[in-house]
Structure 1
Amino acid sequence: MYLKMQMLVKQIAPSSWDRLRFYTSRVHTFNQFQLQETETSNVHDSVLARLGEMPPIFPNLRQFYPGSKLSGSNSLIFFLTSTISEAALPFLSIPPPNVRDLGPSLALLASKSPHIRSLMLTANVAYSGFSSSLNCFANLDSLFVSHLSHYEADFIQSVMSLTKLTDLTLRLVSFSCTGIRNSFPSLKRLRLHGSGPDLCNFLRVISPSVLQDLDLRWSEEEDSQTIEAVFNAVVCFSSTLRVLSIDHITPILLPWDDDAVFWLLFKSLFQLTQLRNLSYGISMSLTKKQTAEVASAWPHIEILRLNAFLWKGDIPPVQSLAYFAQRCPNLITLDYPVDLAVPFDSKALPPRAISTHPLRSFHCTLDDDVTNPVAIALRLYLIFPALKFVDGRGDRWDEVQAILDTYHLLNGMRS
């Protein structure tokens, strides 16, 4: 059962408490996310305290997502039970009013709800005693930490002591892995945002035989040497990595006129032969020849998104997408730049679909308008007869979609 917290910002008559308790004893999720921060701050302390009277009004909670005010309130203890398995402190990144340290709240959570398996910490305040509190969550397998500007020196070491952790997100200004070796024996999914050197050092202490899903973003300007070191650390997971996302938040200090630098960085990822899903946000130019190499790199790829493209040199023609049809038998989603200047033979009609290639979605990442929607739709249909969804960054892709729908309708009538 799920309780909408709108009822808690209103006055509750004494005669209504017993009836309320009947329902709230069946509540499994307490979530203030749907309320605006002004609404959650209007919950009177007396109401929060009354909710926490013994016996607990929420004795069977499993998911606990308090707002900012409750996260830093003395009433927090009244909501905590040993049944909670998922929690956030607070659920939104807005820090509690007049609270500079959520360490005591985290300690309460660790004491009263030690069986938590998933924990989110997002407030831009201090969490004093973080290490000792975190050690109480022996069953923690998912940890999300973001926006923290103050944390203790042994912060990373305490995180790495969580041997059952399988899912970790760290979005921090900086973090140090000095003196740490071979940690996270169970980590399968990692989302890491930080400076290039921090990303590189962190990746080097992770067991290379477990990690399957990796999301990297750097938040500082980086030179080619630093970025190359990060890529070298990534390819160490070649035997296990299935999902990879690489992007940047701030500028990259690379020679933009040297295409070879960008291509060599990207090409190093060809060593990750087990990839099923790749999202790549670093700009580079591509040619038809390089498209053939990309299509041959990952035989098991299902989702391929090359989201940033430098428009110069030879742009891959639409026909070059045939390489993916020939060499990527499992591909279902493709984001890729192609030249939209396609000649059209007015006598050409869509033949009956023969290919069984499963591609369903194509997104053109070239920032250009479609000049001939019929020609583009026909080319794409001939290469990927199962294609259902097309779009791009320029104009008139809605016309391409409508024509593609017509082709499917005609083929359906023929069969």
Structure 2
Amino acid sequence: MVQSSVDSGIFDKILENLAHDAPDLNSAASQYNKRTLAQLAICSKAFLEPALDHLWRRLDSLFPLLKLLQGFKSSDGIYVLRGIVTPDNWSRFDWYARRVKTFCHTGNPLGQAVAKHVYFRVSQLHSTPLLPSLQHLQFRHSTQDDFLTLGVCLFLSPSLQSIEFDGIKSDKLCGTFFDALICESAPLQSVTLRGQGLSKDTLDLVIRFQDILSLEIDGSFIDIDWLKRAGALPSLLHLNLNFNDSSISALDFDLGFRNVKELIITGPLPLVDSLLMHISTTHLEYFDCRVPAGVAKPAYEGLTYRIVTRWRETLRHFSIALISQGYPRDEFPATALLALGSLDHLRSVQVVNYVTSCLTDKIIVELASGWPEITELLLPDSPPGFSLPTVTSLQALAERCPHLTHLRTPFNDLAPELPPPSYGGPKHGLKTLTNARFIKPGDISDYLRLGRHIDRLFPGLKVVNKREAGHWGLDYVKWKELHDALSLCQTIRRETREEYESVGGV
């Protein structure tokens, strides 16, 4: 078989799936996919280049490339570089290195320790950029030595588009890195900097990249002057700022950021609200804020009112999370939720670590009516002593929110029998259901009844969780019984359908 006999789009998709490192992909599956790509590369000359491009496009360590050098060998358990590296050897090295597009530094694997002089020697012998096609560079929780031996010496490339440095403790070399990229006229589009050692000098260098599209800054040197200059960046679309250690308490000037579509802010709610008052963008699509506890209900009402007033026609995602997960938790008032109900185009609503009293079936039905495009809805918990929504709310969400795939809501699972569904469309696509509060059923019949209700409303459900942890937690036995009841309903339905199909039924 040759590539010409295979649709190029399908072939590219196969290679893309094999090369994709999804977060939920385990190590064994990832290694299997890489072996498959390697086998594709050698089975046909037509497959060689595209398969190798996908196999080598991402590296977590330089070790696989260094192994290509003849003088790279182990000495007393540490790899060193000895002898002469011939031009042919460098040509082989470069043949693979030019394929690397993403480097995410996680350190060398166990048993593959590399002497630091190797990196200096390589940078001395290899005068051109080591990874000439490198576009994305990530250093997470890196030490100063990592920046000295790797970041500055080896990854300066004029092709760099995105940089992520995390855990910065002292950023003088980080600043040198950005200054060198400015000299190289690198087309930098995305910068993420996190760490207590981040300095004003480095922040000033970052905003000299006028074509930057995405900016994430977590450090104490965000000040008024820097905000004004960052707000003038003409192409910025994604902005993520952490003000927890900043001296800024309020803003009273036009911030700029006129083209920002995604806004993520961490800091005190009054500062977040002040920023929303003075930001210039008129087409915000994504809003996410993380705030400390201790905020009164009217402040949350004011926040949602401001968002609804300014971005009613554009906002697609709203998320607010309480940074402190302790008790007592702030209350996110039901009136604030109802205000969000007027945002017709919302596809994701997340209210995390909050409580909301008086969250009733009536309120959830009203919200469901206003969010026909919603795909993810994470509602707050209800505090003890308040009545809870029932499965009536689940039915309203099933009927009015056909695209919902992830739902978290408190509900009383001891609700009465439900009437038949009023809709006759395709089965609902909800995959994950999380109950923010669990009311203990009386006996096994209650679990079976609840499981039957849920199965009827959401026949494609895969996961039933307690809170966001992805497991049943302290209520393991209760949630296990509910999960078993739901699985029983799904099994009966599947076996019944198979039986009908086997005898020629529908």
TM-score when normalising by structure 2: 0.69
Q: Distance in 1 between matches of 2:267 and 2:301?
A: 16
Deviations 1:361-404 (A, max 9, x none): 222222345553311111122333x3322413242233134123
Cα 1:153–1:204 change in 2 (3 A) is closer
Which of the residues 222, 233, 256 maps onto 2:295? Answer: 222
Post-superposition offset of 1:223: 2.8
Cα 1:169–1:39 change in 2 (3 A) is farther
Whether the 8 Å CA contact 2:60–2:106 is kept in 1: the answer is: no
The yes-or-no answer on 1:156 pairing with 2:237 is no
The yes-or-no answer on 1:400 pairing with 2:485 is yes
Post-superposition offset of 1:3: 3.6
Cα 1:72–1:47 change in 2 (3 A) is closer
Whether the 8 Å CA contact 1:284–1:310 is kept in 2: the answer is: yes
Post-superposition offset of 1:305: 1.4
Cα 1:14–1:359 change in 2 (3 A) is same
Post-superposition offset of 1:172: 2.9
Aligned to 2:391: 318
Which of the residues 339, 356, 364 maps onto 2:426? Answer: 356
Q: Match of 1:320, as an amino acid?
A: S
Query: Structure 1: which 5+ runs fail to align?
Result: none
Aligned to 1:69: 144
Q: Give the total of aligned pairs.
A: 401
Q: Distance in 2 between matches of 1:204 and 1:77?
A: 44
Query: Structure 2: which 5+ runs fail to align?
Result: 1-55, 67-77, 467-474, 501-505
Aligned to 2:102: 29
Whether the 8 Å CA contact 2:448–2:486 is kept in 1: the answer is: no
Post-superposition offset of 1:288: 2.3
Cα 1:38–1:274 change in 2 (3 A) is farther
Q: Distance in 2 between matches of 1:139 and 1:106?
A: 14
Which of the residues 122, 127, 137 maps onto 1:54? Answer: 127
Cα 1:51–1:212 change in 2 (3 A) is same
Aligned to 2:408: 335
The yes-or-no answer on 1:367 pairing with 2:438 is yes
Aligned to 2:455: 381
Percent of aligned pairs with the same residue?
A: 20
Which of the residues 91, 115, 136 maps onto 2:187? Answer: 115
The yes-or-no answer on 1:85 pairing with 2:170 is no
Cα 1:13–1:65 change in 2 (3 A) is farther
Report the RMSD for the aligned CA atoms in angstroms. Answer: 3.5
The yes-or-no answer on 1:124 pairing with 2:180 is no
Cα 1:48–1:61 change in 2 (3 A) is farther
Whether the 8 Å CA contact 2:434–2:464 is kept in 1: the answer is: yes
Q: Distance in 1 between matches of 2:287 and 2:402?
A: 23
Cα 1:253–1:339 change in 2 (3 A) is closer
Q: Match of 1:359, as an amino acid?
A: G
Whether the 8 Å CA contact 2:204–2:226 is kept in 1: the answer is: no
Range with greater deviation from structure 2 (265-274 or 30-39): 30-39
Post-superposition offset of 1:240: 0.5
Post-superposition offset of 1:54: 0.9
Whether the 8 Å CA contact 1:119–1:143 is kept in 2: the answer is: yes
Aligned to 2:378: 305
Whether the 8 Å CA contact 1:301–1:328 is kept in 2: the answer is: yes
Whether the 8 Å CA contact 1:130–1:155 is kept in 2: the answer is: no
Q: Distance in 1 between matches of 2:229 and 2:485?
A: 53
Deviations 1:139-185 (A, max 9, x none): 21111222x13345422223212221111211231346635316222
Q: Distance in 1 between matches of 2:304 and 2:392?
A: 31
Whether the 8 Å CA contact 1:126–1:149 is kept in 2: the answer is: yes
Give SS of 2:133's match: coil
Cα 1:57–1:337 change in 2 (3 A) is same
Q: Distance in 2 between matches of 1:166 and 1:375?
A: 48
Whether the 8 Å CA contact 2:103–2:138 is kept in 1: the answer is: yes
Q: Distance in 2 between matches of 1:74 and 1:116?
A: 22
Cα 1:408–1:33 change in 2 (3 A) is farther
Deviations 1:204-245 (A, max 9, x none): 233453111111111353233433332232222111001111
Whether the 8 Å CA contact 1:140–1:165 is kept in 2: the answer is: yes
Give SS of 2:103's match: strand
Post-superposition offset of 1:325: 2.7
> After superposition, where does 1:219-298 map in structure 2 within 5 Å?
219=292, 221-235=294-308, 236-250=310-324, 262-281=333-352, 282-285=354-357, 286-298=359-371
Aligned to 2:211: 139
